[in-house]
Amino acid sequence: MEPTTTNIEKQTAAGVDVTTYDALVIGGGIGGEEAALNLANMGYSVIMVEKDYSIGGKMVHLSKVFPTLDCSACITTPKMSETIRHPNIEILTYSEVRGIEKDGKIFNTSIVKKPRYVIEADCTGCQLCEQACPVVVQDQYQYDLVGRKAAYIPFSVAAPRVAAIDIENCTLCGACERVCPPNCIDFTMKEEVIDVIVKSVIIASGFELFDAKKIPQYGFGKYKNVIHAMQMERQLVPTRPYNTVLRPKDGKMPDNIAYVLCTGSRDKTIGNPICSQVCCMYSIKQAQLIMGALPMADVTIYYMDIRAYGKGFHEFYIQTKNMGVEFVKGKIAKIDEKDDGDLVLHYEDIENGGAPKTATYDMVVLAVGVLPQNNIPELFKNEVLELDEFNYVKQTDKLVNPGMTTIDGVFVAGTSSGPMDIPDTILSAGSASAETASYLRRL
């Protein structure tokens, strides 16, 4: 098959107009964006479905990236813009795929677009509704570090940068409606079902973070000064909420911070025996950034092994060590809170005879691991998408066709197939798009 030259091809099936695309990309993180852009640049038409209000995935919320310390938002936003604007890519945000049914060479796909109560095309992102809204709730995009309104722009570099109403917390007071200049707030908006035909599917739905509450002895959720790494990322971004790093309990600048590596990874007791591949490096990166933000603070990293395996990673690790970050090979048994909010770490000091020891910190960061999004197989109604033993999408020909899955015409990209950092996600997405392109040609 030659790539379609026009963006969308209208097809009439059984009397109703159904739009056909060469590929459906599920998920608009960096993996989905790269896969979609590659296909679009090769001339194929793509529909991307993103369940969140904005594309960008986890990467757009990161501070800086290892090992180059590029500002993450600065390098992702061009990709996001390119994706949004590409004439061969159609994007549905705040949408979910409800069902995919294979029918010969095509997949009949049903997508649900959930109501954001704001007419996307009209919203200018002026944020007046946000100012007017009286409701304040915790901001999930800042990982609950600060508050936000019920009428809000998800985050500053969201793409599309369009407001949304959080209907669960909304009191229906109507304040936003009254101030909105283009009058784009619409409380009558309903869920919309969109049926499309696609010729191939790329799964790029990414990963989930380990829920630190599952290890009660670390006290996450109970001790305020125990935070997880994504919350630290948000304290370190250029647009950080406090403009410095503060401990949540009393707003004090911490003098010493401990990292607990492998939280929720390499741990059979919580059902995740594998290594998450990124937490060592992101912790090392955060340690460097903390030294920049709080030059007087001490950072100690408690690790089992340091997985500094990628290009430039080991050098970055050594550099961090030389900057004065302390590395202790030790397993954390539990964390206690003192009255003043300080935290006592109980650990096994492996490199010094393995004796149990304690140390006190102002703040503890849990380097939470990466977990699979395992609800994807449910989307396929008449075919079986198999998962591997760790619940990631199974790669059926890992060495030669790394994107191939158990369903012909369905490919996997990025962290849907296993933990990965950004460059590996890009490579995996590149390979899924190449495999999809040759599949489409063979059709």
Partner 1 sequence: MKQKIGVYICQCGSNISDYVDVDKVLDSVKDLEGVSLVKITMFSCSDSTQNEMVDDIKNEDLDGLVVASCSPKLHLPTFRNVAIRGGLNPYNYVQVNIREQGSWAHSDNPKKATEKAIQLVKAGIERTKYSNALEKTVIPSEKAVAVIGAGIAGMKAAIELADMGLSVYLIEKDFFVGGRITQWEDLCTVEELASDTVTRLYDEVKSKDNLTLFLGATAENMSGSVGNFKLTINIRPRYIKSDFNKDKIEELTGKCKTLTPNEFDFGLTKRKIVFKTYPGALPDIPVVDIKNAGDDINIINEFKDHLDLDRKDESITVDIGSVILATGSDPYTPKVGELGYKEIDNVVTFQEFKRIIELSPNGKLKYNGKDIKSVGYIYCVGSCQAEGNMYCSRFCCTCAISTSLSINKRFEKIRFYHVYKHIRTYGKQEVLYDQAGRQGDIFFKFDEDEEPVVSMVDGEGTITFNDLLTDGEEISVSPDLIVLVTGMVPRDDYKRVAEVFKAPIGRDKFFNEAHPKLRPVETVIDGIMIAGASQGPKSISESTKSALSAASKADALLHKGEIELEPTLAMIDTSLCEGSGLCIQACPFNAITMIDAGGKKLAQVEKSACKGCGWCLAVCPHDAIELAGYTNNEMEGMIESLITV
- Region binding partner 1 by CB under 8 A among candidate stretches 38-46, 98-106, 131-139, 217-225: 38-46
How far apart are the two ends of the chain, measured CA to CA in Å?
A: 6
For the bound state, the minimum distance from the C-beta of residue 396 to ligand SF4, rounded and expressed in Å, comes to 26
DSSP3 helix / strand / coil % (the chain, rounded to 5):
25, 30, 45
In whole angstroms, give the CA distance from residue 82 to residue 90: 12
Q: Which one of partner 1, ligand SF4, ligand FAD, none is in contact with 29 (Cβ closer than 5 to 8 A by kind)?
A: ligand FAD
Q: Which is nearer to ligand FAD, 24 or 343 (CB)?
A: 24
DSSP track, 156-218: TT-SS---EE-TTT-----HHHHH-TT--B-TT---EEEEEEES-EEE---EEE--GGGSGGG
Q: Which of 117, 207, 411, 439 binds ligand FAD (CB under 6 A)?
A: 207
For the bound state, the minimum distance from the C-beta of residue 92 to ligand FAD, rounded and expressed in Å, comes to 9
421 is a contact residue toward ligand FAD (CB under 6 A) = yes
Q: Which of 282, 303, 392, 439 binds ligand FAD (CB under 6 A)?
A: 282
Q: Which is nearer to ligand FAD, 97 or 180 (CB)?
A: 97
In whole angstroms, give the CA distance from residue 34 to residue 55: 12
In whole angstroms, give the CA distance from residue 430 to residue 35: 6
Q: Which one of ligand SF4, ligand FAD, partner 1, none is in contact with 171 (Cβ closer than 5 to 8 A by kind)?
A: ligand SF4
Q: Which one of ligand SF4, ligand FAD, partner 1, none is in contact with 159 (Cβ closer than 5 to 8 A by kind)?
A: partner 1
Contact residues for ligand SF4 (CB under 6 A)?
A: 132-133, 135, 150-151, 165, 170-176, 261-262, 265-266, 275-277, 279-280, 304-305, 307, 367, 369
* Stretch 154-173 residues interacting with ligand FAD (CB under 6 A): none
Please work out, in degrees rounded to the nearest 5, the angle formed at the alpha carbon of residue 305 by the alpha carbons of 300 and 308: 90
* Stretch 11-70 residues interacting with ligand FAD (CB under 6 A): 26-32, 49-52, 57-59, 62, 65-66
Q: Which is nearer to partner 1, 108 or 127 (CB)?
A: 127
- The DSSP bridge partners found for residue 346 are 334, 358
Number of residues written out for the chain: 443
In whole angstroms, give the CA distance from residue 291 to residue 425: 28
H/E element holding 426? helix 422-442
In whole angstroms, give the CA distance from residue 169 to residue 150: 6
Assess contact for 362 and 369: CB atoms under 8 A: no
Q: Which one of ligand SF4, ligand FAD, partner 1, none is in contact with 57 (Cβ closer than 5 to 8 A by kind)?
A: ligand FAD
In whole angstroms, give the CA distance from residue 397 to residue 407: 12
Q: Which is nearer to partner 1, 5 or 188 (CB)?
A: 5
Q: Which one of partner 1, ligand FAD, ligand SF4, none is in contact with 350 (Cβ closer than 5 to 8 A by kind)?
A: partner 1
Helix (H, G, I), strand (E, B) or coil at 352: helix
Q: Which one of ligand FAD, ligand SF4, partner 1, none is in contact with 260 (Cβ closer than 5 to 8 A by kind)?
A: none
Using alpha carbons, list the distances in angstroms from residue 123 to 17, 115, 277, 284, 336: 28, 14, 40, 40, 48
Q: Which one of ligand FAD, ligand SF4, partner 1, none is in contact with 415 (Cβ closer than 5 to 8 A by kind)?
A: ligand FAD
418 is a contact residue toward ligand FAD (CB under 6 A) = no
227 is a contact residue toward ligand FAD (CB under 6 A) = no
404 is a contact residue toward partner 1 (CB under 8 A) = no
Please work out, in degrees rounded to the nearest 5, the angle formed at the alpha carbon of residue 209 by the alpha carbons of 224 and 349: 65
Q: Which one of ligand SF4, ligand FAD, partner 1, none is in contact with 170 (Cβ closer than 5 to 8 A by kind)?
A: ligand SF4
- Region binding partner 1 by CB under 8 A among candidate stretches 13-21, 104-112, 196-204, 236-244: 236-244
